[in-house]
Amino acid sequence: MRALLAQYNGQRRKFRATFARYGQKAFMQHIKTTLLLVDVIDVLTQEVATEHLWFTMGKKFGALGLVAGDVVIFEARVDTYLKGYIHDEFDVKYRDYHLVYPSKLQKVQVDPNQAVFGGNPT
């Protein structure tokens, strides 16, 4: 479970993340492009909100033209969902947290000589 996100369930917050890669998901014969964001940081607290997060590609993300390593800042609402699967013999589900309704997306320039998320460069 994403503990920091759980604290802010239902709230709209500002986040910073690094784009890792594109992917795909299929649902009822429709293929949708997805994108993976890693090192998702809550901008206000500077704490790691989650190690990774998948979004379905939309017009706003598509307009950014992201390549691996790009840093994005955006606002989104923290929400819950049921994670897991149903098997013939047992049902495995639990509540987890994710971000929905991303807005105010910006690709930011990062100085390669500075650490992206603060702290000392290693």
Pairing of β 71-86 and β 12-27: antiparallel
CA separation (Å) from 9 to 55, 72, 73? 18, 22, 19
- Residue 49: exposure state from Cβ atoms within 10 A (0-12, 13-18, ≥19): buried
* pTM of the complete model beyond 0.85: no
Q: At 29, which CATH number?
A: 2.40.50
Q: How many domains is the chain partitioned into structurally? A: 1
Domain-located, residue 71: yes
Domain-located, residue 82: yes
Domain-located, residue 113: no
Domain-located, residue 116: no
User: Residue 48's domain spans which residues?
Assistant: 3-107
- Looking at the DSSP bridge assignments, the partners of residue 99 are 78
Domain-located, residue 67: yes
Domain-located, residue 115: no
Domain-located, residue 122: no
Q: What pLDDT, on a 0 to 100 scale, did the predictor assign at position 119?
A: 43
Domain-located, residue 85: yes
From first to last of its 122 residues, what are the pLDDT tens digits of the chain?
588 899 999 999 999 999 999 999 998 888 999 999 999 999 999 999 999 999 999 999 999 999 999 999 999 999 998 887 766 666 667 788 999 999 999 999 876 555 544 444 43
Strand order in the sheet with 12-27: 47-56, 30-42, 12-27, 71-86, 91-108
